[in-house]
Structure 1
C-alpha cells in the first residue's frame, strides 16, 4: 500500500471524526452518518497505524503516526468501551439487603412473533422487582398496531402494579404512586387515539414507593432514526429522517428537563436507539451517570442480538441518589433483537 493511499484514508477518517464531533446531535442528516459502529473510532486508527509500517508508507510515516495517534486518543470516549473494567472497585460495591432488581428490555413486538408461553416464562424467570419493557405492540402491514395483553400480564405477574403508555409497559412489585407525563406526552388526553399516544409517549415515568422511599423510574424508547422500508433514492426517505430527528430531540430535551427538575432518586433505562458516539446523549450524560461501571462487559453491544452485534443502543442511567451494584446484559434467547439489561440498584440512604 502506497503512502498516498494511507494519507487519503487518514484524511477521510479524520474528516469523519471531526464532523461527527461537530454535527452529531446538531444536524438531522448526520443521523445517517451516525450509523457507523462506534468501535470504528478505535479499529480504524489502529488498522491504519498497523499499515503505516509497510515499506511503501515509509515516506509519510513520521507525519501519519502522530495524526493517527491523536485520532485514536479522541476516539477513546466515543468507541463505547467500558474502561471501568480496567479499574477494580469502580462499581458501588456489594448490594445491601433490600436492593432492587431492575430489568429493561425492548421485547421486539411483545409476544406477537414468539411462543407466548416461552415469552412470559423468560420474563418471569428474571424475577425482577421492576420491569421497564418496550414495544408492547404488534407489527401489522408494516405499521405498529396496538395489542391488549393486560389480562395475561396480570395473570403472569400476580401482585405487580402495571403502568402502560402506548408501547411502554412498567411492572412493579411496589406501589406506583404517581405517573407524571413527560414532554410531548403532556398534550395527550384520556381519550387520545393509540397512534397519537404511540408517537408522543416515548417516556413513561412511574414514581414508585419502595419501602417508604419514592423512586422515579423512566421507561424510555427513543424513535429510531430512519424508515428502512423507504428507498434512500426518494425524497420521502430524507423527509422521514428529518421528522424523526425533530421527534428524537423533543423527547431527549423533555427527558433531560424532567430529570433535572426531579428531586426524587432517578433511574432511567430503555432503548435509546443511540450509540455511544452520538452526541444526542450528551445532555443526559451530563445530568446522570451511566450504569456501565458496574458491568464486567468490556464492549457492551446490545443490538443486533442474533446477528452482527455492533451497537450499544440500550442504556441505563441513575442520579447520585441511586447506586448500581450490578449491571449485566442477557441474551434474549431468540425472543428479541435486543439484549436484556439487568441491574441491581439501591437508593442512597
Structure 2
C-alpha cells in the first residue's frame, strides 16, 4: 500500500500542475487557439478527478486528502459560472425583461418530414405568449405565405411591433428567411446585422426606452453540431472501430468550432467596444462557461446567470445535456440584474428559453 500511496501522490502532483494551467487559461481567456479550447473544456472533468482523489485518500491516507481539497478550493473563481444560489426580488419600477431562445426553426423540419404540427404550434405559441419586453431568438424561421409559419406577423400582433433581423443567406428576405431576430415592444432606432463565415451571425438593435437608448446584440456563434449518439451506439454494440471513427468526428467538429469562434468573438467584441450605448448581449454561444467566447465577453460585461441565476442553469436539452451554452451579458454600469431564469420545463426546442429581468440605472 505504501507503493500505491506514493504512486498516487506523484500522479496527483503532476495533475495539480495541469489543473493550475487550466485555471489560468479559463480565468484569463487570453487565447482562442483550438488546442486551448480543448484544455478549457476539460475543467469540469478536472474538478471531478480532484473529487475522486479526495475520496480515495480519505479512505487510504486522510492526511493526503488536503491536497485535492486545496485543488478544489482554488477553483472558487469558477463557482458562480457553474451554480447559482440567488433569490428573485419583487418587481420594481424602471425594469425591463429580456428573453433569449434558440427556437429550432419552430420545428418546421418536423412538419415537413412528418407532417406533425403539434410541437411547432406549442413552440410558436409559448414563445409568442411569453410576456417580456425584448425577445432575442436564434434559428428564427418566418414564411409569410405559410398558414402556420408566418411567425413575424404573429409576434407583431402580440405587443412586439418592432424588429431587427439577420437573414441567413443573400437570397432570403423578410418574407421568407432563417436567421436571427430581435423583437421589441419599444422603438428600434437603428439596427445592423452580420453573417459569420459559413453559418450563423449576429444582429444588433438600438432600442429607445423612454429617455434611454440601449444596444441589444443577438448572437449565434458557430454550431458545432456534435452528436454523441453514434459514439454511444458503437461502443454499446462493441464496434470499437466505429466508436473510434465517431470519436474522431466529434473531436474534429469541436476543433473547427473553436477555430471559428475565435474569429467570431473578435467581431462581436468590436461591436461591444464600439457601441455608443450601454450594451446587452444575448444568444446561443455554443460553448460552455469555461471557454474562450464566454471568457472574452465576460471581461467586458457581467453575466446574468452569475449575478442572479439559480441552480446549474443547463440550457441544452440533448446530449451531453448538462451544459449551459445560452447566455445573457450586460453592462453593469447601466443595468442591475434582478432575476435570471432557465425554463427547463419548456421542452419544445433543443434549447431551453432563458429570461432575465433588469433594472435600468
TM category, shorter: 0.7 to 0.9
C-alpha displacement of 1:94: 4.4
The answer as to whether partners of 1:324 and 1:343 remain within 8 angstroms in 2 is: yes
Instruction: State the Cα deviation string for residues 235-276 of structure 1 (Å, max 9, x = none).
Output: 887665444333211221222222122231211111112222
Distance 1:70 1:197 in 2: 42
Distance 1:296 1:133 in 2: 20
C-alpha displacement of 1:104: 0.5
1:174 aligns with 2:190: no
Distance 1:271 1:259 in 2: 17
User: What runs of 5+ residues in structure 1 fail to find an aligned partner?
Assistant: 138-146, 186-195
Q: SS where residue 109 of structure 1 aligns?
A: helix
Distance 1:71 1:99 in 2: 41
Matched residue, 1:273? 286
The answer as to whether partners of 1:249 and 1:280 remain within 8 angstroms in 2 is: yes
Matched residue, 1:97? 93
Distance 2:48 2:250 in 1: 30
1:31 aligns with 2:27: no
Q: SS where residue 137 of structure 2 aligns?
A: strand
Superposed, 1:146-161 pairs within 5 Å as: 148=143, 151-158=150-157, 159-160=159-160, 161=162
Match of 2:342 among 329, 346, 349: 329
Superposed, 1:198-217 pairs within 5 Å as: 199=198, 202-217=201-216
Q: Which moved more, 1:19-28 or 1:327-336?
A: 19-28
Distance 1:310 1:237 in 2: 17
Superposed, 1:257-296 pairs within 5 Å as: 257-296=270-309
C-alpha displacement of 1:111: 2.8
Alignment TM-score, normalising by the size of structure 2: 0.74
User: 1:310 and 1:220, CA in 2 relative to 1: closer, same or farther beyond 3 A?
Assistant: same
Superposed, 1:126-137 pairs within 5 Å as: 126-136=130-140
Alignment TM-score, normalising by the size of structure 1: 0.76
Q: SS where residue 78 of structure 1 aligns?
A: helix
Q: SS where residue 179 of structure 1 aligns?
A: strand
C-alpha displacement of 1:200: 6.0
Instruction: State the Cα deviation string for residues 183-214 of structure 1 (Å, max 9, x = none).
Output: xx2xxxxxxxxxx6673652211111122421
Count of aligned pairs: 314
User: 1:170 and 1:83, CA in 2 relative to 1: closer, same or farther beyond 3 A?
Assistant: closer
User: 1:21 and 1:3, CA in 2 relative to 1: closer, same or farther beyond 3 A?
Assistant: same
